[in-house]
Structure 1
Amino acid sequence: MSSTPASTSSRQSTRSSRTPHEDKLVLPLHEDIKDHFQDLELVDTHCHIHSTFQAYKEKYPEGKHANIRDFVAALLQADGSNKLRTCVDVYCEGSDMEHWASTLAALSDFPDLDYRFVAGAHPHEAKNYTDELERRFLEAHRHERCVGWGEIGLDYHYDNSPRDVQQDVLRRQLRTALGSGENKAITIHTREADDDIVRILKEELPREQRVHVHCYTDSPECAASLLSHFPNLFIGITGVVTYSTNVNTPQVIRDLGATCSPSNPAGLRILLETDAPFMPPANMANKQLGMTSKQRFPFAHGGVLPWTAEFVKRVLNEGKGEDEDKWTTAGVLRQARENARLCYGV
């Protein structure tokens, strides 16, 4: 059925009422870290900055930020906000490789933001992998601001590429990354492919390889197998950990919490990430952010990290007695920051 002008206008009005003013995109300091922010460094270990800027332009076609540099400066570097210290941008599609150099040029000279990136073919793109694309990934991989190869892996949820092709391309990229001699991290995407991802990573990677299993939502058993085999492997935690439908990731956090404590935190082998623009945390209270009850934060960006850390803290503190040492949001952020240094060297 075609839309009448009136119905189109009504839908636009509804969308507008659910989208907060763009000034609300600059997030105020999270309550839990106001007294600690001077000695905290927020690190987003996995984001898609170009896609996040595109999401902004779609939501705010008349928005004030005309280019990606102004956008990043306003949302991620504003005084009084959850200012990002380091980000790891991700180029995982062939089309991404058209703009990695220009984005790097635009963002690499911020005085207070350490811009880094990884590059590699997402499993959705495995069917399109070519020698030329690999050459371009290798070129990017050699850049001094590139800290890893990824995100690469297996995705059996969508199966956008045949599974055998995904496996072959994953092995090829792992071998290419190792063969480059760059000794950089590997960023893994895995979804509903537990047995195959464990088998392939164990077959292809040395035990000491630094690995980031990004946006982990699969079984606790798969995570435990990878963590026990690879001592330098870290589990990526995004805002999806806050979603009620996700029971796996909180359990992985509980399992890790059983091996560590706030005074001995090294066993908390997590990396905090946004996967921006996707999956803003569900625990961001509208009232605190100056939004109405009907509005929704339109996309994730690095400023949401403290809300993810707050949720991790709550999971870690489940069942603790009054006299037991408790995790804090700042403590989670500090350990995640140290883990980013161990995994990516940032």
Structure 2
Amino acid sequence: MGKKKSNLPGEEHLLLPTPPSNCGIVDTHTHLASTFAWYRGKYPAGQFTTVYELVRGLYAARGVEAIVDVWCEAPVQKIWKEFADSALDEGDRKEKWGGMDYWFVMGVHPHDAKHYTDEVEQDIIEAMAHPRCVGWGEMGLDYHYDNSPRDIQQAVFTRQLRHAIRLGKPLTIHTREADDDTEQILKAEVPKDHRIHIHCFTDSPAFAQKLLDHFPNLYIGITGVITYASNQDTSTVVRTLASPSPSSSPASTKPLRILLETDAPYMVPGNLYDSLPPMRGKLPLCHSAMVPWTAAFVAGVANKAGAGGDRVDGVKEGVEGANGKEGEWDANRVMREAREGARAVYGI
């Protein structure tokens, strides 16, 4: 019996072609240790043998200026300090990270809420004092998987919020199919002017609008999942944000209030494949250099709003957004808006 042929693309496809934007890339939510582990798992004989080599080879080579690395396991992975300490010195950032700015947030994901302890909490509080730490998270509620009981999720979420607010740290929030409880807890615990990143938003547009209306410094995180035909809600949120008010011009200058992120190693943008040479299978992981393709798709969605459109047409949005044919949005404008968002929320 013959050996089954692998559908794994060669690792050379991970070094991406020229992106649909010439702006520097800021990935506001990625899991770098997991991304490197996935890479080594898929390509055990791969050319990158350290996380620093991976970043220099795939990220710095394609204009990734900064990342916000997310540590959200319980117990806390001790390797976080090696990464963060190696980014303290400008010379180390140039030598190890290829000049990329490394920042991080830390918290406990709702999946791990059942493992939250006083010891875990103390480890996080100590990490908050590190000069490269820019926020607390990701934390929140996840009723899709319910990997931790809901009452424990709510208690741990509230506990983390109180510490983050006491320390003045921006919030990185995970919420999935928990609209009412997330809204209630945030409004009860968080000052209206606090800085908030709702990471990888996929829930109802009405829920997003409630949060945006109440918290003026809240931003919506957009990942490659916006390109998937199974997800229309995120595009609806973007269209609402991009829609000019009745009294404004089509080229409205109101802030888009989004952040661009990957959630790597998850969620490769679907429109990326239009830019890649033919290959067998699909890329086995996402990484930070893919952000411009998400921006191109967002631009296509925003242009539909400006043109009065009410439907998203999948990958074609990314092409239109890259070329700027339908309206005032293109990938560069989306990248710049999201860059300002990263400064507003995380100060980076």
Length-normalised TM-score, structure 1: 0.89
Quickly say closer, same or farther: Cα 1:327–1:208, change in 2 above 3 A: same
Look up the match of 1:239: 224
Please state how far the C-alpha of 1:318 moved relative to its aligned partner: 1.2
CA contact (8 A) 1:24 1:291 kept: no
Give the superposition deviation at 1:232.
0.2
Structure 2 residue aligned with 1:273: 261
Q: Contact 2:158 / 2:185 at 8 angstroms: preserved in 1?
A: yes
Q: Which residue of 1 aligns with 2:205?
A: 220
Deviation at 1:285, TM superposition (A): 2.2
Deviations 1:247-275 (A, max 9, x none): 11000001101147785444301000000
Which residue of the other structure, out of 166, 180, 184, is the alignment partner of 1:195?
180
Q: How far does residue 19 in structure 1 lie from its aligned partner after superposition?
A: 1.9
Residues 72-101 of structure 1 deviation map (CA, whole Å, 9 limit, x = unaligned): 1101011xx3x1001000000024422101
- CA deviations over 1:3-60 (Å, ceiling 9, x no partner): xxx57x41xx23xxx2222122111222x32xxx2xx221000000000000100110
Show the 5 A alignment for 1:89-100.
89-100=69-80
- Deviation (angstroms), 1:122: 0.3
Cα distance change on mapping 1:212 and 1:147 into 2, 3 Å? same
Which residue in 2 is equivalent to 1:3? Answer: none
Q: Is residue 156–residue 192 contact of structure 1 (8 Å, CA) maintained in 2?
A: yes
Counterpart check, 1:21 vs 2:6: no
Q: How does 1:140-289 map to 2 (within 5 A)?
A: 140-180=127-167, 183-259=168-244, 263-285=251-273, 288-289=275-276
2:244 touches 2:250 (CA, 8 Å); kept in 1? no
- Aligned equivalent of 2:295: 309
Within the alignment, does 1:326 sit opposite 2:328 as a pair?
yes
Q: Would you say the 8 A contact 2:75–2:120 is kept in 1?
A: no
Amino acid at match of 1:231: P
Q: CA deviation at 1:281?
A: 0.5
Letter matched to residue 285 of structure 1: Y
| SS at structure 2 position matched to 1:212 | strand
Q: Which AA in structure 2 matches 1:66?
A: T
Number of equivalences = 322
**8 Å contact kept, 1:147–1:344:** yes
Distance 2:70 2:127 in 1: 11
* Alignment RMSD (CA, Å): 1.9
Counterpart in the other structure of 2:283: 297
Aligned partners of 2:17, 2:327: CA distance in 1, in Å?
28
**In the TM superposition, what is the alpha-carbon distance from 1:297 to its structure 2 partner?**
1.6
3-state secondary structure, aligned to 1:317? helix
Q: Which residue matches 2:67?
A: 87
Aligned to 1:139: 126
The secondary structure found in structure 1 opposite 2:197 is: strand
User: What SS does the corresponding residue of 2:271 show, helix, strand or coil?
Assistant: coil
1:110 to 58, 83, 93: 93
Q: Give the direction of change, closer, same or farther, for the CA distance of 1:324–1:297 in structure 2 (3 Å limit).
A: closer
Taking the TM superposition and a 5 Å limit, the aligned residue runs for 1:20-99 are 20-30=9-19, 32-33=20-21, 37=22, 40-78=23-61, 81=62, 83-99=63-79
Letter in 1 for 2:269: P
CA contact 2:269–2:294 (8 Å) conserved in 1: yes
Q: Which structure 2 residue ranges, 5 or more long, are not aligned?
A: 309-323
Amino acid across the alignment from 1:159: D
Do structure 1's residue 337 and structure 2's residue 339 form an aligned pair?
A: yes
Deviates more, 1:307-316 or 1:257-266: 257-266
Hey, what's the Cα distance between the residues in 2 that align with 1:101 and 1:323? 46
Matched to 2:72, the amino acid is C
TM-aligned CA deviation for residue 104 of structure 1: 2.1
DSSP-derived class of the 1:295 partner: coil
Distance 2:250 2:264 in 1: 28
Identity over the aligned pairs, expressed in percent? 48
Contact 1:19 1:295 (C-alpha < 8 Å) held by counterparts = yes
Partner of 2:318: none
1:323 Cα shift? 10
Give, in whole Å, the separation in 1 of the partners of 2:9 and 2:140.
36
Write the letter of the residue equivalent to 1:341: R
CA distance in 2, matches of 1:74, 1:269: 31
In 2: Cα distance, 1:41 partner to 1:75 partner = 14
The amino acid across from 1:338 in the alignment is: E
Partner Cα separation in structure 2 for residue 57 and residue 277 of structure 1: 12
Q: State the distance in 1 between where 2:86 and 2:50 align.
A: 9
Contact 1:262–1:331 (Cα < 8 Å) also in 2: no
1:56/1:324 Cα in 2 relative to 1: closer, same or farther (>3 Å)? closer
